[in-house]
């Protein structure tokens, strides 16, 4: 129990959603990952962001392949002028620089493909949209009360309002 729980409970008070205060399936356990510390972070898979080194706008993505492979795909789209990568298209259209992987790619979450990773990607896109810094497709602009609660009251682990490179 904490301020996050009280806030979310209040949001859901007049809905058909029942709140459970004890569970083994809690947000902290779902949003933290146990990873092999011997693996290079770019050899894992999950959610990531690419930050344009010129304007600092961000592309949020997810992959079930190693981050290194996904970065190479974005770079090849930039290099050969393909229209597959939103990040590469932004860099080309705006005449911005691309930058090396260790400077522009941030691993936000290591996770397997699935609903949790989809939700994490949506949260990070939502966060950057709120800051006016996302390159992904435009969203509907619809407010998400749970994402808003996480942005206002970030949990002690897992989703953070903003992380810096080399923090992982």
Mean pLDDT over each residue of the chain, to the nearest integer: 82
Q: Where are the domains of the chain?
A: 41-168
Task: With a cut of 90, say whether residue 93 has pLDDT above it.
Answer: yes
Per-residue pLDDT at 51: 97
pLDDT tens per residue across span 98-108: 999 999 999 99
What is the pLDDT, as a whole number, of residue 53? Answer: 96
pLDDT band of 8, cuts 50, 70, 90: confident
Q: Which numeric CATH code is attached to 41-168?
A: 3.40.1440.10
Strands 46-51 and 58-63, by their bridges, are antiparallel
26, 101 Cβ separation under 8 angstroms = no
Q: For 110-121, what is each residue's pLDDT tens digit? A: 988 999 999 999
Q: In angstroms, rounded to a whole number, what is the distance separating the alpha carbons of residues 121 and 118?
A: 5
Q: Alpha-carbon Rg of the chain, whole angstroms?
A: 17
Contact indicator for 41, 110 with CB cutoff of 8 Å: yes
Assign 27 a pLDDT band (cuts: 50, 70, 90).
low
DSSP state of 134: B
Tell me the percentage of the chain whose pLDDT exceeds 70.
76
């Amino acid at each position: 129990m904490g301020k996050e729980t009280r806030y979310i409970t209040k949001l859901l008070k007049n809905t058909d959603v029942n709140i459970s205060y004890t569970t083994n399936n809690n947000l902290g356990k779902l949003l933290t990952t146990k990873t092999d510390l011997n693996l290079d972070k770019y050899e894992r898979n999950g959610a990531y962001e690419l930050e344009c080194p010129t304007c600092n706008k961000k592309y949020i993505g997810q992959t079930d392949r190693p981050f290194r492979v996904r970065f190479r795909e974005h770079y090849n789209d930039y290099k050969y002028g393909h229209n597959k990568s939103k990040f590469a298209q932004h860099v080309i259209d705006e005449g911005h620089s691309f930058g090396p992987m260790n400077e522009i790619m941030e691993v936000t979450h290591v996770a397997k493909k699935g609903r949790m990773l989809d939700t994490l990607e949506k949260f990070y896109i939502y966060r950057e949209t709120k800051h006016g810094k996302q390159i992904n497709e435009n969203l509907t602009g619809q407010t998400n009360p749970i994402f808003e609660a996480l942005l206002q009251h970030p949990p002690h682990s897992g989703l953070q309002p903003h992380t810096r490179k080399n923090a992982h």
